[in-house]
Each structure stands twice: as C-alpha cells, then as structure tokens.
Chains A and B, each alone.
Chain A
Amino acid sequence: MAYYAIKGGEDAIKNSLNFYSQKNEAALGIDDEQIINGLSFSIDKVMSEGSLYSKKLAAKAIKRSAGDLLNASFFLRAHRSTCQRVGSAKEINVEDMRIERRISSAFKDIQGGQILGASNDYEIKLLLKNAQEQVDVEEFSSGINILKSALSPLREDNLIKGLEKEKEPWDITRIFPTAPYPRSAILQVMSRGESGSLLGFAYTSMRGYGDVHPTIGDLRIGEVDIDFVHPFTKKEVKIGVIEVTAVECAGTFNKDSDGETRLTTGFGFCFGKNESKAISMAIIDLSLYNDAYTVGADVIVAADFEMIMHHVDGIESFGFANHYKLPHYVTFQTDYQIFQSAKKYAKKKEEK
C-alpha cells in the first residue's frame, strides 16, 4: 500500500488545488477597483515587492492569493518574467516629484514647509471609532508642490559626503553581481526587497548593532513622470506616472574622499506609499557606506554587504523557507544513517 501512496502525487495536487480554490473563491468575487481604492497600502506593498508597477495586476494577484501579500508579490514577479523588455526609462529625479506629502525631522521649518499630507502617523489606534473633528479640505492649497530635498541646501554648501556615481546603473534582473557589489545593485535589491526583512535589518542598527542614529532629512511621497526615448522617433515621451516614496536620511559624519569631514546620508526609494520600507532602506544604505565609531564593525549586520545583498528579497526567502515542506526523505535517511554510525563509533570508543 505504502508504495502506491507516495506515487499518488498527481491526484493529490489536483485535489488540493481544487480544495484551495473552493476555500478562497470568495476573494475572486471582490471588485478590482475596491482593492485598488480600498486597500491601497496592500497594492503598494505588492507592487513594490513584486517589482512591477501595475495596480490592476496587483489587485488580481491579491485576489488570487486571498490576501496573502507575499504570495501576491510572487504572482507579480512571475508575471514580470514573461514581459519583454523594451528598454530603460530615463532617470527619475525625486526632486521633480509632485509632492503629496513631505516632511523633514531634521529642521523645524524648511523651504516649502512641512507637508503632512494624508498620514496616519498621529492616529490614535483605537478600534472603536473615535470622534474625529471634521475639517473642510477645501481650505487647503491644491497647488502643485515641487520642492527640493530638505537636505539640498547642505549639499549645495558641500557639507554632505558624496559617493562615487556609477556610469551605468547595474541591472540585477539581467546579471546578478558578485562581490564587490555596485551600489546601484544593492539599492535595487532593497527597493524590491521585503518590507519586513528590511525593517528587521534596519532595526538592528538602531538599537546598538551599529551607531547610526538617523535623522529623516527628507521623506516624500508623490507622483513622478516616467520618460522614455521612443525607439523609432528617438524623441523623449512621457509614458506614465507612478507614485513613489523617497527618503533621505542623515547620519553622523565621516571623512570624505578628499579628506574633508562631511555629513553622511542614506537613500531609500520604492514604488507606492511605503514609508517604513523606504526609511529602513535609507538607514541600511547609510550603515553600509559609512563607518561606525562606537562598535566593532564585525557585529554590524546592517553594514554587511553580503547580509543585505542576499537576505532581504521576500520572494527568495519565503520560497526557500517553504521548500522545507517538500519531501526530504532521502536526505533524512542519509542523516539518520550518519547519526547511527556516529553513535556506534562513540560506543566503541567508550568500550576501549
């Protein structure tokens, strides 16, 4: 009997998948627009980790995975693989962003002002609905805000440490680099990394494993244009608008390449509204490229290129963690045999 039991994989999969579809059928009945408008943070997380900017596909992926967001990101990544690459868009400058929200904790007041925008930062987390004072939003400016980073004045005064700019950015989806890793590749890995993993690594550096005490120099959310050089007309055309989060954080000071002491900064950037992720990314970028003073470098996980480069991608880590569910009876049998012979060896040694 047993022999046939392990050969029944084909039917087992079919039945299991049918059962799964039945159980999660209700999710498919939800309207895409409802998810896009109602669960916008889920959409943004999935687009960011799935490395594909499409709210429509993200909504479909969330439905297909019945709200398991990492699984939804995986759907997007898999779809991304089937898309033919046309070319690279023009560089985005986040200072050209049409700002919806921009804050800086480094300065009391900044050029353009603190723009809280739509934020839940000061929400009291009570599940019971509390009375909220209604304000008339019409009183607020609806003009387009395009503002320089709050750290730009310091940069213009040459007070911020610069990092060497790469001639061409690396593309990790075409060639995954080996060490030493170009900064563009690390930023790409982080930008599509799993929010929780980035947060975890960044958090280690905040509480002793590193001495970064970051200050949010500039956190912004808004829309940026995607420009592309048309392959036939060779003219620059706007092909779309995406919503992004960008963070510039400031650390302590380090010696720059010219010997001058300057302020250090880190940069975080990702699709959609993902503040925790962008902040975490900026902090990790800061710890990777700047020396710490107070602790030995060997214990700073967030400053370890190998650690970050290979351990923040959610699609990879969750896939591998889940692969342990696959049959491993051959490897377990080998483990068991080695264990048995080691036991025999130990016993023999004792008898001697």
Chain B
Amino acid sequence: MKNPIRYALLAAFAAQPLAATAFTPDDYMAWFNANQSAQPQFVDGDVITYDKADLIRPFTPAEYQDIQIFEGMEVKIKDAGDLSPAEVYQKATEQFAGTATIAADGALENYTAGRPFDPATFKPGKEDGQKMTWNFNFRWQLGGLSNREVHWVWVRAGGEHSGHEIMSEGGGKYKPYYTGGGSFERALAGPYRRVMFSHRSDLPEKNYKVNNGEGFAKDTEFREYTGFSSPFDIAGTAFLILRYDNPRKTDDSWAYIPSLRRVRRISVEVKSDSLLGTDHTLEDFYCFNGRPLEHEWEYVGTARQLAVARSRNSDAVYYGPNGWAMLDDWALRQVDVMKQIPKRASHPYSLKFLHIDRQSGECYHANAFDKAGQLWKVWQLSKAWSEDPQLQEQVTKWKAEVTPPGSRVSMFQSINVIDLQNNRGTLVPCRGHANPATDLDLVKKLLDVNYLTEGR
C-alpha cells in the first residue's frame, strides 16, 4: 500500500454518487477527469477487500463501482503482463503505418492490415474518434471468435438462484461458475461464430484476405452467426450478419425463425434491439459490433482501468450479492476511451462510452445512456489470454476449436451487462471459446445463409 491519505482524497473525487436515474454523462466525465491524475495505491498481488475498496474507485468506472464493491468483495490485483498482439499484426501495423485515411464521411480508406492508426497521437475530438473506432474495428482477432456454448443468463438483483435448473444441469457442471446471489429468471444457450475475411494480418500471402478475397470471402469483412439451442421456445433461432468490406455498405442480416421454418431478412433496427429479451443487442457484442458509419465518434482520452484482462480462470466465475460481479484477477490497464453517438434517431441509446485496451485493442467496459441522458446499462467484459495454459480446458471440457499456439490474442471469456435502471442484468459467459485459424470449407458450411435453413 502506498500513501493512503492521497488515495483517499482521489477516491473522494472518483467515487461519484451513483443513483442510476441521476447518473449522466457528466458524472461519467467527472470520474474520467479524476482518473487522469489518480495514482494506484495498490501493488501486484494485493487483494482488495471491502474495507479497502476506495483504493480501486479511481480505476473502476463510477457506474461500475456499486457492482464491483460490496461486502465480501475480493479484487485481486494482478498485472496482465504483455498483451501485445501477434507479430504478424504488429508487422502489418508497421508495414502499413500512415497509409490508412479517413474519408469525409468517416469511412476508412486505403487500409490493408494491422492497426490503422497510432493511438499515441490521438487527441480528444471527433477526428480521432473516427480513427479510434476503426482501430477497434480492426483490432487483432486472428480468424475471429468461436464459442461452442454461450449462456445468456437473465439475472435480477436480490434473491438467489440455487434452485434454478442451470445449477443442476449436466450434473451441476455449471454450478461452480454461478456463485453469489441474484435470482435467475431465464437462461438461453447457443453457439456463436465470427469469421474475419478481410484485412487479415496473418494472411499476407493471400493479399491479407481469406481465399484471396475470392468466392465466399469476396467483399466481406466478416460473417457472424449467433444461434440458440435452448430453451425450446427459441431453440433453433439463429442470426447471421454479413458485414461488407465496403464500410459504406449496409449489413445484410438474416434470422432463422423456427416457428416459421424459414429465413427472414432482418432490418438494421434489430441490431440495436434487445436480443431475444436479453439486455444485449447484436450491436453491443464486443462492446460495439455495429457499423462505424452509423454513429458519430469522439475520442475522449486515455484512462487507467482495472479490468479482467487476463483471467486466471478457465471460465468466468460470478459472485457477489447479485451474482454479477467477477471473481478474478484484475489488472490495471491503459485504456482509450471513445464516445459513440448513434446517428439514428430511433436508436435506443443517446450515447455510449467504450474503454479500449491500448495494447490489445480489446474492450473491457462500456456504458450506455438512454434518450433522456440517464445511465441505462453497464458492460463488463472479461478476457482470457490465448497463451495461458488454463485455456486448454476450453478444448478438453467444452470442445472448443483449437487456437493456434503463439496467436497472442485476447480471447473473449464473458460479456456481462447490467441494466441499472431496471436492476437486472444478463450474464454471458462464453464456453468453448477459441480464435481458430480459418478453414474455409468449414466456415462456409456454417456462415452461408443457406445453412440457416438446414436447421430443423
């Protein structure tokens, strides 16, 4: 511990009173501004408990503090170490440095691979906000994320969930992960797969594109499949999104509706709508999964944040009075903060702040404000590191695809969102996660729109 008097003073600035209905973007910025001068008063290996909670307030976004801080909390401080992307990505960044440009409408042009812009040069404002979002968009993901089984657990503050069937399912195999309180209302499950087709730093010999950008990969940035296998009333529902490499081109999106047994084209509105009643939207995946040009962006600056950047666990472990806090190692990371302002008047959010790891490019935290400017939702994302030995469990236990050794990719372990206005949340642990190399024959089977009809 270092200088307890100083940290107490800083914490006083950082600890904004959080009444969800009164928390505005200004309140968030107050925390952000206080964070700028904060100095950590903890060291690696410290376990922060409730009585020392003020130590972490400067590095815990104000809107997340009530989730993170509670009697019985255990926040273990653990440096995440070097999370720099794979060498191929760094090499591409270096090779194509300075070539990418931003068009007047915010579209990314002349981009090939690697990180498009150097965040060290960013200044607060819209111009670098656009650059920041493209950096995030083209962060290092190798071939894209694969999840064998994603749980979507609807949790409500208060109560407990020991009697919920998810605790006994499969002989209780999920029980160790859902500790703490909170009542579970409903749980959905299903697979997820995203495949990146363009700007692949790992494919320089193929012009940085899968299959040289021909055939199935033509003009495609990524394809994304989100499926649901239970409960019965939604089993078989699946979404497929095709993001074009042309940033100005609208996504193509389809949904397979089991009760119709057919594929339905879906509107862009669906992407900002609650996903089957969860607190997530398709656009909220990864913190932000929409089209950059459908929003305005502002670069806010950098901050230091405690994040689950390199989980010690094979799978996400929840705890706390409402079961929506993360029991894990927390690393202090430098994050770039950007502000997303939807252009569409019908979009449910007025704005959203995102925290992006400067080194890995991954998002750890986001918040969204409703149209009245009141805080609505808070996201927390836990990451696992591809080179850690515990990741092997994903293969043996959850039948994950294999992430190639040396991939150096920050992997997706969970994304959890709390709706502070309604005192509820959706926990989304991702089991069987991997960032596998791309086998075009395999991904064609899953990510072809016609595959959707091959469901029941």
Question: Are A and B co-members of a single complex?
Answer: no
